[in-house]
Amino acid sequence: MKIDKGLIGGSTNLLILSLLKERDM
């Protein structure tokens, strides 16, 4: 279960980072 939460959190962080990068551009 901990691994699943980590994967979900990681994917969410990647999505947020990609959105922030697009806004910066």
Helix (H) or strand (E) holding 25: none
Tell me: the pLDDT tens digits for 1-25?
566 777 777 888 888 989 999 887 7
pLDDT value of position 10 = 80
pLDDT value of position 13 = 87
Residue-wise burial string across 1-25, b where 16 or more C-beta atoms lie within 10 A, e elsewhere: eeeeeeeeeeeeeeeeeeeeeeeee
Domain ranges of the chain: 1-25
pLDDT value of position 1 = 57
Q: Is the pTM of this model over 0.75?
A: no
pLDDT value of position 11 = 85
Which residue carries 């962080």 as its tokens? Answer: 13
